[in-house]
Structure formats: C-alpha cells, structure tokens
Amino acid sequence: MGEFVRLEVEAGIGTIRLDRPPVNALNNQVQAELGEVAAEASSRADVRAVVLYGGEKTFAGGADIKEMAAKSYAEMVAFGTALSASLTALAEIPKPTVAAITGYALGGGLELALTADRRIAGDNVKVGQPEIGLGIIPGAGGTQRLPRLIGPSKAKDLIYTGRFVEAAEALELGIVDQVVAPDDVYSTAHSWAAQFANGPAVALRAAKAAIDGGLDTDLRTGLKLETSLFTGLWATEDQAAGMRSFIENGPGKATFEGK
C-alpha cells in the first residue's frame, strides 16, 4: 500500500483511492503508486470491478506543476513516459472500471478519469485539459483518449482553449456518463461496479479486450479479435454454467465462479 494511493477491497469491489491533499496532484510518487496499484488490482482474483476515487472534495486537480517546472527535458522524458505507462496500466485493468469524480478533474486528473470504462460525476464538478495555459499540451492520454471518446473536433476545442467544463456540459459532450448529487458520487459508482462482483469475470475481461482492442484497429481485424475471444470462452466453466442455467431455469439466474 502506497503513501498516496491505496487499493481497498470489499465484497469483490476494489477502490483505488487517491489521498494526497489538498487536490491529489500527480507527482512522481503518485504516478509510481498508481502503476503499482493498477498491477495489484489486475492480478487479484478477489477484485472483480474497480472504482477510481479521489475522495469527497476532489478527484484530481492535475499534475504537480511545481515539481514539473523544476524538471529538465531529460527528467520530463522519464517522468512523462512513466506517467503515461501508469495510466495505461489503469486503462488496461482487465475488469470493469468506473471513475467517481468529485470537485475537479483537470489536466492529469481528467486523463486519469479517462482511463476508466465509465465516469460518474457530481453535479458541481469541473473537468478540463488546461495545459495549453502553461505552454504545454496534455501528456498522459488527453490528446488520444479524449478524441476517441468525444470526437476530434470537440476534443480540440477543449484542448486548444483549456477551458473548464461544468457537469451538465461534460454530460452532453460525453466526457462523463452520469451526473448525480455530490454526496452520491461514490455510492453510485460503487453500485455500478457491484453488479459485476459475482459476474462471469473471464467473459467480462474478454468483452473489454474486444472493445478496446477493436477500437485501435480496422473493422476486419477487430472482427477477427472478437471471434477469437468469443469462441475462447467455450473453454471456461462460466460458459458451461451460464448456458446450462439458461436451458434449465431461463435467463438471468446463472451463478458464476469467474473461471
């Protein structure tokens, strides 16, 4: 368990909790701990779904600008590469993931939220990629994941202007998927994740791999990937249990072991 990032597990749900007051700024140590926790969440069989959470006040206010400003070019190459790798490790957790966004998700904070499969935000949040105001651009996935999520034109507007986006517009743009009262952010995200706690873990992993892998390639290759993952599930116990339950008891009554 890291000093600023920890994985809390209960009833199949892992909460990756950022805790670096006041705004969970992403410095060298947070970056390293995010990568470590992503690996742990990926490997633990008792973690079936994951919530990314920065606490009640703010999700993540961005990178640690004071630390970054003091770095040389060579140091930033190392830091930027490591930060991108850590966030990619979060995006590649082979389980359903959801970001519970409170307060602010700005710069690296929004890039962190973009690694999740789903984003649930409080109605008072502000999100954005304000790096342009510092004379730089997003460097941890913002120029890649955001356009894939909302389209290049809308992403360019946000990245070129660096403007902050409030909850209602973030929902309209598709940056977040659901807006709730601030006090309900974590519980709503947790409830979404909890529906997978006893689900077919191997099939869920295959679904995520098929969708994410297909988005990175052409349709023909994506369809081949889908077929491979689809047919491979006939080697799992959950496929046999799910189909047997459907035949004997009807839909929606199967019990899965995640094997």
Average pLDDT over residues 198-227: 95
Percent of residues, the chain, with pLDDT higher than 70: 100
pLDDT at position 252 over 90: no
Q: Is 111 a catalytic residue?
A: yes
**Alpha-carbon 178 to chain mean position:** 15
Cα gap 154→2, rounded to integer Å: 36
Mean of the per-residue pLDDT values of the chain: 95
Per-residue pLDDT, 105: 97
| Tens digit of each residue's pLDDT (9 = 90 or more) over 188-208 | 999 999 999 999 999 999 999
Cα gap 102→83, rounded to integer Å: 22
If DSSP states are collapsed to H, E and C, what string results for the chain? CCCCEEEEEECCEEEEEECCCCCCCECHHHHHHHHHHHHHHHHCCCCCEEEEECCCCCCECCECHHHHHCCCHHHHHHHHHHHHHHHHHHHCCCCCEEEEECCEEECHHHHHHCCCCEEEEECCCEEECHHHHHCCCCCCCHHHHHHHHHCHHHHHHHHHHCCCEEHHHHHHHCCCCEEECHHHHHHHHHHHHHCCCCCCHHHHHHHHHHHHHHHCCCHHHHHHHHHHHHHHHHHCHHHHHHHHHHHHHCCCCCCCCCC
Per-residue pLDDT, 258: 87
Q: Is 131 a catalytic residue?
A: yes
Catalytic residue among 36, 75, 131, 237: 131
Average pLDDT over residues 216-238: 95
The CATH number of the domain covering residues in 201-249: 1.10.12
- As given in the structure block, the two tokens for residue 42 are 């990926």
Percent of residues, the chain, with pLDDT higher than 90: 91
What is the CATH topology of the domain spanning 5-194? Answer: 2-enoyl-CoA Hydratase; Chain A, domain 1 (3.90.226)
Q: pTM of the predicted model, to two decimals?
A: 0.94
Q: Look up tokens 């992503």; give the residue.
A: 38
Cα gap 134→59, rounded to integer Å: 21
Confidence of residue 151 (pLDDT cuts 50, 70, 90): very high
- As given in the structure block, the two tokens for residue 128 are 């954005």
Confidence of residue 59 (pLDDT cuts 50, 70, 90): very high
Confidence of residue 62 (pLDDT cuts 50, 70, 90): confident
Confidence of residue 90 (pLDDT cuts 50, 70, 90): very high
Cα gap 14→51, rounded to integer Å: 6
Catalytic residue among 67, 111, 166, 257: 111
> What residues does each domain of the chain span?
5-194, 201-249
Confidence of residue 150 (pLDDT cuts 50, 70, 90): very high
In whole angstroms, how far apart are CA 223 and each of 210, 226, 227?
A: 9, 5, 6
Average pLDDT over residues 124-134: 96
Average pLDDT over residues 158-179: 98
